[in-house]
């Protein structure tokens, strides 16, 4: 009742199919299709023959188009099935910024385009999309230039060797980077292509260390009895015993589950016919019987059972399977997790993923704006010295006031001495205010502080300097008297001189405050590496 085909030659495959339609008995379904070219051609024509096709190995995303291939199903997940798993992994490690590197081949481009759609609206930015034909180094440089740390790659084994060689040259490996690439490469795949690259083997392995591969799970890892009564492990043991020394295919579990899908589909179709139309049987099927063809199609869509590859469920003809994550650790692939598409859950095996650093890589260079502050120890030392200075000035002021009537003190103009001390104390006070930066006060307070400390320092300096200047001027005026006549210059006149100086300062400060007051500005410095 089944037409089986595994041809990869277009002409031979099509001839075999049309010969079976023309000369053979009526086939109920088509089982097979390994190569994308033959499978897609036959799948497109099946609607005209009322035939449902089930493939166990055709993974090309093109076949997911239900308008073009409405009668096509597959037990193996599509190449696009890895994208929801990648999304789940990105969310698990909170990576929100990624870049893609794609080989210019339709298979890889389709997966990349689907990934773009999957990530859209998920708060994950694709910051750079690069593609290449033969030399990936230019694209790798662009990814580095755009500060891409999480790279989602789609390329074959030959190109993978070139990509990782370029990554080594650009230092895009280690604790700051994470590569996520296809996981379907052959075991020790790099050894076949290392000679064609310009890279030393140790350099290539250093760049490859830690990459994560994503691919469908050939067999379920659960110890659960399947529809056949066997666990996946029992099935694998029996399969290996029967194949002997024959080459193993990673699709064998999907082929086995495929036979069960067809059996259950025919069983459901027979039950439906027995319940609704006892005069019609599945043996009555022919290529023009659209009613029976629709019954087979609906029965296939209702598939739901536990197989050796996991739960077998179709969504729009696509298998909702299990995706595995492996990591390259010390020259070998190690399984580190799996994604269940049916339940939409990600399971990471405990302590299996080894990142090159102490934590997962960041998805970008984290720029932390840090306010440059006045050193607190330095501010504390200067404040302590300032306090000592103010204590000393206060002691001088007290001494000057207490002894103001003594002859020597009185002759030195105690009022002017007091002005000098008060000016000095105001200047000392400004040190406290100059040390209060943005780490101690708010933005609004800081602007007020700028004005206050400028006024205090200016008035304090002018008061102290003005008093000393006035006293010096008096001595100069007295000794300049060549006629040696008695000349008295009282302190009141000196106070007028100091007051005049302060008046000039006040006029300048008031005009400054009215016309162009001090504003807080932020000075941007060059970026520095965090120690």
Q: What is the DSSP letter of 524?
A: P
pLDDT computed for residue 9 by the predictor:
63
Do 330 and 354 touch, CB atoms closer than 8 A?
A: no
| Of 148, 195, 191, 138, nearest in space to 169 by CA | 138
- Count the Cβ atoms, other than its own, within 10 Å of residue 347: 15
Q: What is the mean pLDDT of residues 300-329?
A: 93
C-alpha dist (Å) from residue 150 to 98, 177, 471: 5, 6, 75
pLDDT computed for residue 438 by the predictor:
76
Q: How far apart are CA 25 and CA 43, in angstroms?
A: 20
- pLDDT 10s digits, 193-246: 887 777 888 999 999 999 999 999 999 988 999 999 999 999 999 999 998 887
Q: How far apart are CA 155 and CA 136, in angstroms?
A: 10
| Of 313, 345, 342, 250, nearest in space to 74 by CA | 313
- pLDDT 10s digits, 389-408: 999 999 999 999 998 888 88
Q: What is the DSSP letter of 190?
A: G
- pLDDT 10s digits, 81-92: 999 999 999 999
- The strand order across the sheet containing 72-74 reads 2-5, 29-32, 52-55, 72-74
- Count the Cβ atoms, other than its own, within 10 Å of residue 346: 18
> pLDDT class for 1, splitting at 50, 70, 90?
low
> Which residues make Cβ contacts (< 8 Å) with residue 431, sequence separation at least 6?
382, 383, 386
Predicted TM-score (pTM) of this structure? 0.74
Q: How far apart are CA 494 and CA 468, in angstroms?
A: 10
> Which residues make Cβ contacts (< 8 Å) with residue 314, sequence separation at least 6?
73, 300, 301, 303, 320
Whether 40 has a pLDDT exceeding 80, the answer reads: yes
423 membership: H or E segment, kind and range: helix 414-434
Q: How far apart are CA 227 and CA 238, in angstroms?
A: 16
Q: Exposed, middle or buried by CB within 10 Å (0-12, 13-18, 19+), for 345? A: exposed
pLDDT computed for residue 425 by the predictor:
94
Residue 502, phi then psi, degrees to nearest 5:
-65, -35
pLDDT computed for residue 137 by the predictor:
95
Could you give the dihedral angle defined by the CA atoms of residues 9, 10, 16 and 21, in that order, rounded to the nearest 10 degrees?
Answer: 160
Q: Exposed, middle or buried by CB within 10 Å (0-12, 13-18, 19+), for 509? A: middle
Q: How far apart are CA 417 and CA 246, in angstroms?
A: 109
Positive or negative, the Cα torsion across 489, 495, 496, 500? positive
């Amino acid at each position: 009742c089944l037409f089986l085909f595994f041809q990869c030659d277009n002409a031979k495959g099509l001839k075999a199919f049309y010969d079976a339609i023309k000369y053979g008995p009526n086939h109920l379904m088509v089982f097979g299709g390994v190569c994308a070219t033959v499978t897609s051609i036959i799948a497109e024509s099946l609607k005209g023959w009322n035939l449902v096709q089930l493939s166990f190995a055709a993974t090309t995303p093109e076949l997911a188009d239900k308008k073009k291939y409405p009668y096509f199903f597959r037990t193996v997940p599509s190449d696009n099935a890895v994208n929801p798993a990648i999304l789940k992994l990105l969310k698990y490690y909170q990576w929100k910024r990624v870049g893609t590197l794609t080989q210019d081949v339709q298979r890889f481009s389709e997966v990349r385009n689907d990934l773009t759609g999957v990530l859209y609206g998920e708060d994950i930015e694709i910051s750079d999309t690069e593609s290449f034909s033969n030399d990936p180094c230019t694209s790798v440089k662009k990814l580095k230039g755009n500060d891409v740390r999480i790279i989602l790659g789609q390329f074959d084994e030959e190109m993978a060797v070139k990509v990782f060689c370029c990554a080594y040259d650009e230092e895009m490996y280690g604790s700051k980077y994470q590569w996520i690439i296809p996981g379907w490469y052959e075991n020790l795949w790099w050894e076949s292509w290392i000679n064609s690259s310009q890279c030393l083997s140790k350099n290539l392995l250093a760049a490859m260390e830690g990459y994560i591969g994503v691919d469908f799970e050939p067999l379920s890892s659960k110890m659960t009895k399947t529809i056949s009564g066997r666990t996946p492990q029992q099935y694998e043991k029996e399969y290996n015993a029967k194949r002997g020394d024959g080459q193993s295919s990673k699709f064998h579990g999907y082929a086995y589950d495929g036979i069960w899908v067809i059996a259950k589909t025919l069983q459901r179709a027979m039950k439906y016919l027995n319940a609704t139309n006892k005069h019609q049987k599945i043996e009555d099927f022919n290529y023009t019987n659209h009613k029976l063809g629709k019954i087979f199609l609906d029965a296939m869509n209702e598939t739901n059972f536990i197989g050796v590859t996991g739960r077998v469920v179709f969504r729009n003809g696509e298998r909702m399977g299990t995706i595995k994550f492996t990591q390259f650790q010390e020259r070998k692939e190690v399984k580190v997790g799996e994604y269940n598409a049916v339940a939409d859950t990600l399971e990471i095996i405990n302590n299996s993923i080894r990142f090159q650093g102490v934590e997962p890589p960041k998805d970008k260079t984290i720029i932390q704006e840090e306010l440059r502050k006045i050193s607190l120890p330095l501010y504390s030392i200067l404040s302590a010295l300032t306090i000592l200075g103010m204590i000393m000035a206060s002691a001088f002021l007290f001494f000057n006031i207490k002894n103001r009537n003594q002859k020597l003190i009185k002759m030195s103009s105690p009022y002017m001495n007091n002005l000098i001390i008060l000016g000095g104390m105001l200047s000392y006070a400004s040190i406290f205010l100059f040390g209060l930066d943005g780490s101690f006060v708010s933005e609004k307070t800081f602007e007020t502080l700028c004005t206050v400390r400028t006024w205090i320092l200016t008035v304090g300096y002018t008061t102290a300097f003005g008093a000393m200047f006035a006293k010096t001027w008096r001595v100069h005026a007295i000794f300049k008297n060549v006629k040696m006549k008695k000349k008295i210059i009282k302190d009141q006149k000196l106070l007028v001189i100091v007051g005049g100086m302060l008046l000039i300062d006040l006029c300048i400060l008031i005009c400054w405050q009215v016309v162009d007051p001090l504003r807080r500005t932020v000075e941007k410095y060059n970026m520095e590496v965090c120690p």
